[in-house]
Each structure stands twice: as structure tokens, then as C-alpha cells.
Amino acid sequence: MADEERSVLPTDKSISFGVKRIESMREMSFENPEGFWTGIAEELFWFEKKGRIFSKAEEPPYGSWFENWKTNLCYNAVDRWAHSPRRNKVAFFWEGEPGDRRVITYAELHSDVNRMASALSELGVRAGDRITLYMPMIPELIISMLATVRLGAIHSVVFGGFTSQSLSDRINDSGSKLLITADGGWRRGKIIELKKIADEALGNSSPVEKVIVVRRTGHGVTMDPHRDIWYHDTCSRQTKKTDIEAVPGPHPSYILYTSGTTGKPKGAVHSTGGYMLWSYYTFKSVFDISEEDVFWCTADIGWVTGHTYVVYGPLLNGATSLIYEGAPDFPEQDRWWSLVERYGVSILYTAPTAIRSFMKAGDSWPGKHDLSSLRLLGTVGEPINPEAWQWYYRTIGRGRCPVVDTWWQTETGGIMISAQPGNGETPLKPGSATVPLPGVDACVVDEKGVPVGAGEKGFLAIRRPWPGQFMTLWGDRERFESVYFSRFKGMYYAADYAMQDSDGYFWLLGRADEVLKIAGHRIGTIELEDTLIMHPAVAESAVIGRSDAIKGETAVAFVILKQGHAPTQELRKELSNHVRSHMGPIAVPSSLYFVDRLPKTRSGKIMRRVIRAVVEEKSIGDISTLEDSASVDEANRAYIELKEQIERAG
Ligand code: WTA
């Protein structure tokens, strides 16, 4: 970057006072974690506070937070404000894709949540029960989440873009006895048939006994009189008062399924006390929220970013947020910028993929709108390339707003590494997530778990427990321990490559496991391979990621066909449709090659490094050897063979 460009960015060392402050807070948090976290916990409401806030497990760094403290997430997010001068403050400005609008204050949210909680109790929902939510981005989704945790029940939100197969897998795994859905949702002017997909998912055998349906689109749907209930029918009959379940800190608040390195999605289970503290603290630290702000996190609530920064973080801080239901380019490419202007959004938090696609659409779209209300910009979900960072900073922020690049994961509950204006001004470096939040002990280690020096690439690990950490994988404690805590003794393994520079800044370099980030969404390559193998024509498959100018990454599939199947264009199409109907459109490979053989090590492990080098048209030496342990000769031979096969296939 030219010096002249750098000078407009807040990278000047003279303001690194903020970083020193963050460092001293971090030291304090390590020296006296009990005191540090208790101080923050005191800013939230607890029904009971007994004993220490952290109990160590035998094997650190996992353990249990607020074991003998009792609280309720919904009480802290809603009731606290509904009984305070903030009661008439706007909690949410909501806009549907067709342009319909709603404004919901904290007092209104309180009464809606109470009615829904009362409807749920009437249906027999009790603490610990699981409820699956399969809904569009409408206020009723948030109301349902809050009503669920109010009763101490556990929500499992399934992204509205998922297929009936994914929905049914998640319902069955969580053992949900209730499903909340909607007739449909709007996306790019069309109705997504949520109720119909839900009906397919429930099929003949499912633990679900009752289905609550929100009327959103108003088009005709089939209701099963013994099973299905309209949301408006049941809620309108309810009282505005329900009891609040005071639950212990480690009581699960939700399950959120995410892709991993096997075919089966994992259900990350989050706590109540620790998760609440983490959503509250990270939101406040990173977004430096004030009473006047209008915060907008564009993520879908179906992902963790939506859980923590559309729902819990803003509400726990008593903030005002904007929620938008539909597609960013509907009816035109300036929908988002018109929303920023209309609602006076001051903080915008989005994903690099969205930024890159707006960048491609051209500067004239944001140029049509007054974006002067913005004061802070954020990104999450994938590494942001410097060009996109610069465009965001200049074209959207008009060179006035810092960009906070926030690194975290479904498993971490909230932001871990980021610039944090709320803790101290952090000089920025485009492409770096900057420094860990106080309380987060992040490091970069080699294959043996030994910290590497400045400027060296390695694996990101977290050495100490933090309150927001997930507690387990639903029904799979063993996988929880082996995937995250066995790789490096005493550390949480994040499965990301990283590098720390000489200023201590972290650069996140992408996944170190077999997980892709397509438009910011986690797609397990093995899940995709398993899906392809389910097709009767496929004998074997290998999937890897290829970098993509907009989506960050796309899936490229290599397929070996069974005897008797010809590699035709029709079959290629059929395989794409097969993936679409099982995993959803995000997972459909951008290219699919039919091959006779796949590059494998002698022990039978697919050499992804070789496939990646071929696909990216790079030499093998340019791809990190951290990816597999094949010998140089082995890799070179496989590289040449795969290239030949692809050339032959055309
Ligand atoms: C990636 C999303 C670079 C990373 C909140 C991580 C990032 C995965 C960043 C988690 C960032 C997230 N820079 N990479 N700022 N933020 N990632 O669970 O690979 O959907 O492991 O959580 O996203 O994805 P998940």
C-alpha cells in the first residue's frame, strides 16, 4: 500500500495508546480472571451468585462457567429494559423484502415474547426441551428464540436456505418435539416454501409433535389440524405474563449445527451464563455502542453471527438494530444503501463476500445514497482481501469509518480477535483482524503445538478457557474432545492457519481442516463428498476449495464414476441437482471433473494439496506442506497424473 494511502488509515503508531490499554486489560484478565470476569458479569442480572465463576475440568482449557450462578438470557435481553427508561426505545427496525416495515420497542418485544412463551408453555414446553426454528428473517424468529430461552428450553435454529434433508437431520439429532416455521419467506421477489419443506422434513417419523406456523407471505399452505397451529391464533389468546426460568450458568441456551470434517454436521452447544457474558462483552468492546447508534448486522439468524450479533449482543446492550428480510440486490443493487440511509445506520457489520459483490456491481449504487450516518464498519466470516477492505473503507465508509475485521467461530460464541474501539482505539492494518480481546489467549503454534516466531505461519490455538466457549457437541462428547482439545495439549484448536506479525497482530489465513468457506458459509468437503457418493453413478469423489473473486471460495469436485456410467454433460447436471437438493444451493460445486483416479498417499489419504495446486494452476511448492505429509516425489507424480487426466477430459 502506498504511504499516501496508509496515512488516511488510523495506522499511525502515535495512537497505539489504545493497543497498550488493551494489552494491560489482557494482562489483568490473565492475572486475575475471576476478578476480571466477575467485574463484567456484575453488569448483567443474576438471580443467584454463589461461589467462583469458573470451575476447571481435569483437562484445560475447557471447564464450566457460572456453575452456581443463576440467570436467564431473555430476562437480561428484554425484561431488564422493558422495566427501565429504555422501555420505549426501539429494539428493532424491521423491513421485509417487499418493503413492509415494523418498529418494535423493548416494551413491545417484552409483551410479544411473553405471549409466545406462554403459548409454548401451554404446549408443554419445559426447561431442557429442544425446539427447532426454521424461519425467515422476521421478528417472530427473534421472539421465538427469546421465548424459548425464557422457559429454559433450547433452540436450534436451522437456516431457511437449508433443504428438507438438512432440516430433518437436525430435528432428529436434537430430538426436537416442537418446530416453529412460517408459511414462507421472501427472497428475490419469490416465496421460499418453508412450510412445504418443513412438511417434507417431518415425513412419517419425526420427534416433532406440534408445529407452530407464522403467517408471513399469506399464500395457501396445508395445515395438519392435529399437528399445526397458527402463531397468531395461539399468541393472541395468551396472557402477557409468563414465569422466567432461572437457570444455572452452564444450562444450554442453544444448539447450532455447523459443518466439520466428517459427513455429519455437529451441533455446537452454547451455555447460558458464559455465552450471555460473551455476547454482551464482545458487542460492547468491538462496536463501542452508544445510545444513539443504529446497528445493522446483515447476517442471517440461521448462522452464529446472527445469533450473537443480530439477537443477543445488541439486546443485552439495550441497543437499536435494523433487520432486513431479503436479498441484498432486490429490487436493485442499492437496497442495502437505501436501508442505511432510511434508518440512519451508524454501524454496519457484514461479510467480505457481500462487500466483493457490491464492489463488482459498481460505485454508482452506494453513490446514490447519503451514507453519512455510518461511523463504524465491520466484517466477519472469511479473510478480507486488501482490495475489498479498501473499497469498503473508501466507498462505503467514505474514508471516515474504521473497519473492524472480526475473527471468531460458531464454537467461540462471539468475537475473539478484532480491533475494539470500545476497549481502546486499535490502529488498523487492512487484512489483519488485529489483536485478541482481553481475556483471549490466542497464539500461533507449529504441528507440535510449540509457538512459532513472528511472521511464521502456523495453526491458531487458544490457550485459556473463555466464557463464550461452546460446552460440547450435542450427543457427542467424544468428538468434542477429540476435534478441538486433543490436537494440542491444553489448547483449543481452531482449525485455522494464522500468522502473528512483529506488532503482535494476527493475520488469519483460512481453514486448516477440510472445511470450505463458500460466501462465508461453512461447507465440509467430506459432507459434500459423501453426498456425491450417495448418487448411484458415483464410485468415489474428492472435493476441494478454489479461490473465487466474489465468494472467497467455491467447491470443485472430482468424481470417479462406477462401471457402466458415462461422463456426460447430463450426468454433470444431475449431480449438481443432487447436491442442491441434499445440501442446498450454497454447496453446489462450481466445477465438476470426471477422473479415473484420485491422487492419494500410500496410506490412502487424498492429497488435497495436489488437487489444489492443479485447480489453482500453481506449482506444488506454492501450496503449504502443512496440508498433508506426502513426500515431494509422491506429490509431484500425483500432480502430473491428475493434470493429464483433466487435460484428457477437456
Ligand atoms: C473464518 C463465523 C478470516 C475462519 C463467525 C473460522 C475468518 C470460520 C474471519 C468460522 C475473519 C471467521 N478473518 N477468517 N475475520 N472470521 N473466519 O463458524 O476460517 O461460520 O474458522 O463462524 O470462519 O466460521 P463460522
448 C-alpha vs ligand 1 centroid, how far in Å? 23
Q: How many CB atoms lie within 10 A of CB 460?
A: 26
**What pLDDT score was predicted for residue 508?**
95
110 C-alpha vs ligand 1 centroid, how far in Å? 33
- Number of structural domains, the chain? 2
pLDDT in tens, 91-112: 999 999 999 999 999 999 999 9
Q: How many CB atoms lie within 10 A of CB 367?
A: 11
Q: Report d(CA 229, CA 226) in Å as an integer.
A: 9
Burial class (CB in 10 A: 0-12, 13-18, 19+), 360: exposed
In a domain, 641, yes or no: yes
Mean pLDDT of 3-27: 66
DSSP state of 86: G
330 C-alpha vs ligand 1 centroid, how far in Å? 27
Q: Report d(CA 607, CA 598) in Å as an integer.
A: 8
CATH number, domain at 549?
Answer: 3.30.300.30
Please give the share of the chain, as a percent, with pLDDT higher than 70. 95
258 C-alpha vs ligand 1 centroid, how far in Å? 12
**What pLDDT score was predicted for residue 619?**
77
Instruction: Report whether residue 512 contacts ligand 1, using a CB cutoff of 6 Å.
Output: no
Q: Report d(CA 201, CA 197) in Å as an integer.
A: 6
Q: Report d(CA 178, CA 164) in Å as an integer.
A: 16
Same domain as 523, residue 431:
no
Q: Which of 191-200, 237-246, 567-576 has the lowest mean pLDDT?
A: 237-246
**How far is CA 520 from each of CA 62, 303, 323, 444, 591, rounded to the nearest angstrom?**
27, 10, 19, 23, 19
Same domain as 150, residue 238:
yes
CB–CB of 522/476 below 8 Å? no
538 C-alpha vs ligand 1 centroid, how far in Å? 32
Q: Report d(CA 420, CA 437) in Å as an integer.
A: 7
With cut-offs at 50, 70 and 90, classify the pLDDT of residue 642.
confident
Going by CA atoms, what residue is nearest to atom 11 of ligand 1?
Answer: 407
Selected residue with higher pLDDT from 74 and 62 = 74
Statement: residue 511 has pLDDT above 50: yes
In a domain, 503, yes or no: no
Same domain as 169, residue 72:
yes
Q: Which helix (H) or strand (E) holds 591?
A: strand 591-594
405, 421, 440: which is the final residue of a domain? 440
Instruction: Report whether residue 258 contacts ligand 1, using a CB cutoff of 6 Å.
Output: yes
**What pLDDT score was predicted for residue 62?**
74
pLDDT in tens, 392-402: 999 999 999 99
In a domain, 54, yes or no: yes
Statement: residue 377 has pLDDT above 50: yes
Tell me the pairing of strands 457-462 and 442-445: antiparallel
Q: Report d(CA 80, CA 103) in Å as an integer.
A: 19
597 C-alpha vs ligand 1 centroid, how far in Å? 33
417, 440, 463: which is the final residue of a domain? 440
**What pLDDT score was predicted for residue 626?**
52
**How far is CA 528 from each of CA 141, 173, 469, 524, 555, rounded to the nearest angstrom?**
29, 19, 27, 6, 9
Host domain of residue 586: 519-648
pLDDT in tens, 582-599: 999 999 999 999 998 888
**What pLDDT score was predicted for residue 636?**
80
Going by CA atoms, what residue is nearest to atom 12 of ligand 1?
Answer: 381
Same domain as 544, residue 413:
no
Mean pLDDT of 139-157: 98
**What pLDDT score was predicted for residue 59?**
62
CATH number, domain at 183?
Answer: 3.40.50.12780
Statement: residue 220 has pLDDT above 50: yes
Statement: residue 627 has pLDDT above 80: no
In a domain, 476, yes or no: no
Atom of ligand 1 nearest to the CA of 511: 19
For cell 506426502, the residue is 630
Same domain as 566, residue 421:
no
Instruction: Report whether residue 164 contacts ligand 1, using a CB cutoff of 6 Å.
Output: no
Same domain as 194, residue 79:
yes
Mean pLDDT of 58-74: 86
Same domain as 525, residue 405:
no
257 C-alpha vs ligand 1 centroid, how far in Å? 15
Statement: residue 170 has pLDDT above 80: yes
Burial class (CB in 10 A: 0-12, 13-18, 19+), 382: buried
Q: For all residues of the chain together, what is the average pLDDT?
A: 92
Statement: residue 16 has pLDDT above 80: no
Same domain as 432, residue 283:
yes
Tell me the pairing of strands 101-105 and 90-95: antiparallel
Angle between helices 608-615 and 632-649 (to 10 degrees): 50
Instruction: Report whether residue 403 contacts ligand 1, using a CB cutoff of 6 Å.
Output: no
Q: Which helix (H) or strand (E) holds 33?
A: helix 33-41
Q: Report d(CA 231, CA 239) in Å as an integer.
A: 14
With cut-offs at 50, 70 and 90, classify the pLDDT of residue 648.
confident
Q: Which residues pair with 560 in a beta bridge?
A: 540
**What pLDDT score was predicted for residue 624?**
57
Atom of ligand 1 nearest to the CA of 384: 13
Statement: residue 84 has pLDDT above 90: yes
**What pLDDT score was predicted for residue 249?**
98
Instruction: Report whether residue 433 contacts ligand 1, using a CB cutoff of 6 Å.
Output: yes
Atom of ligand 1 nearest to the CA of 494: 21
Grid cell in block for residue 510: 483460512
Closest C-alpha to 479, from 174, 267, 257? 267
Statement: residue 19 has pLDDT above 90: no
Same domain as 246, residue 105:
yes
In a domain, 505, yes or no: no
Same domain as 553, residue 409:
no
**What pLDDT score was predicted for residue 643?**
86
**What pLDDT score was predicted for residue 620?**
72
CB–CB of 487/448 below 8 Å? no
Same domain as 170, residue 25:
yes
**What pLDDT score was predicted for residue 650?**
65
Statement: residue 4 has pLDDT above 70: no
CB–CB of 496/442 below 8 Å? no
Q: What are phi and psi of 390, to 5 degrees?
A: -65, -40
Mean pLDDT of 159-180: 95
Statement: residue 229 has pLDDT above 70: yes
Statement: residue 1 has pLDDT above 50: no
Statement: residue 444 has pLDDT above 90: yes
In a domain, 185, yes or no: yes
Instruction: Report whether residue 405 contacts ligand 1, using a CB cutoff of 6 Å.
Output: yes
**How far is CA 575 from each of CA 1, 259, 558, 581, 611, rounded to the nearest angstrom?**
44, 21, 11, 10, 20
In a domain, 483, yes or no: no
In a domain, 499, yes or no: no
Instruction: Report whether residue 266 contacts ligand 1, using a CB cutoff of 6 Å.
Output: no
Q: Report d(CA 378, CA 401) in Å as an integer.
A: 10
399, 421, 440: which is the final residue of a domain? 440
Closest C-alpha to 596, from 621, 625, 561? 561
Statement: residue 292 has pLDDT above 80: yes
Going by CA atoms, what residue is nearest to atom 13 of ligand 1?
Answer: 383
Same domain as 219, residue 125:
yes
